[in-house]
Amino acid sequence: MTIKECVRKYTNDLKLVTHIPAKEVEILIMYLLDKNPIWLHLNYNKEFEKEFELKKLVLKRATNYPLEYITKRASFYGEQFIVNEGVLIPRPETEILVENAFNILKEQKDKKLILEIGTGSGIISVMLAVLLKNIKIIAVDINEKALELAKQNAIKFGVLERIDFRYSNLFENVIEDNIFMVVSNPPYIKDSYVLPKNVGFEPKNALFGGVIGDELLKDIIKSTEEKNIPYLLCEMGYDQKNSLEEYFKEFNVEFYSFYKDYENFDRGFTLKFKK
């Protein structure tokens, strides 16, 4: 059976779990063969000798098991990052958070120390370190698997020497007093929310933020202000803008702004405290 015939055969099995079933079959084939899209389409009529392995992967994906966990990779900011089960899968909207942090940091003349809370696979810290040579980063998480994975990604992109990966619950093990910016994509989904089937495979402690959902975000805001850190950039839930904007009034804020994601939902904020 050729590659083309395999794509046609197994596309139907994925129609209920993805809007791009044929594309995902191709991705699984490329994963099995360790090939890129150009090679695939130049060899579409070539005999495919790993149909048995492909079938197993297709059936696994058909259960809503995330494609990224199968291929152990996810695209972010135009790069391929390593991902593993037990660690949150990178989302495209987090690119906006990275871009917002970059736009502030690129204007700074002297070296700055950045803290990322809840680093997960390390995508935010790694990309900022790749984009900006004049920063050092402390990246914390309470998930040991996440910290190990984040280190792998930092090694892959050659920035490990500028990122201090540290086990810490929020600021618990962070004693530095010269932090310029906190960046975070924390858990912000309310505990009662029923997750889509595919998201249900991801770690719950990286998703759920409390009864309302914004409790952890508010803890981060409060601690950032108490530690005299000028900037805080966070992702948030699509329905949390009003409650967070009201909460900002409890602090000495110089300015703040909210941004929307690629689907036009409220997704995050930039906050600067007065010194």
The backbone torsions φ and ψ at residue 199, rounded to the nearest 5 degrees and listed phi first, read -70, -25
275 residues of the chain, pLDDT tens digit each: 999 999 999 999 999 999 999 999 999 999 999 999 999 999 999 999 999 999 999 999 999 999 999 999 999 999 999 999 999 999 999 999 999 999 999 999 899 999 999 999 999 999 999 999 999 999 999 999 999 999 999 999 999 999 999 999 999 999 999 999 999 999 998 888 888 888 889 888 888 888 888 999 999 999 999 999 999 999 999 999 999 999 999 999 999 999 999 999 999 999 999 97
DSSP string, 41-53: HHTTTSB-S-HHH
Which is nearest to 256 in space by CA: 240, 234, 236, 272? 272
Which pLDDT belongs to residue 254? 96
Pick left, alpha or beta for residue 269 (phi over 0 → left; psi -120 to 50 → alpha; otherwise beta). beta
Q: Kindly report the pTM of this predicted structure.
A: 0.93
Range 86-273: architecture per CATH:
3-Layer(aba) Sandwich (3.40)
Cα-only R_g, the chain: 21
Give dist(CA 165, CA 219) in Å, integer: 21
Burial class of residue 203 in the structure, from the number of CB atoms within 10 Å of its CB (0-12 exposed, 13-18 middle, 19+ buried): middle
Domain boundaries, the chain: 3-63, 86-273
Adjacent-strand bridge partners of 251: none
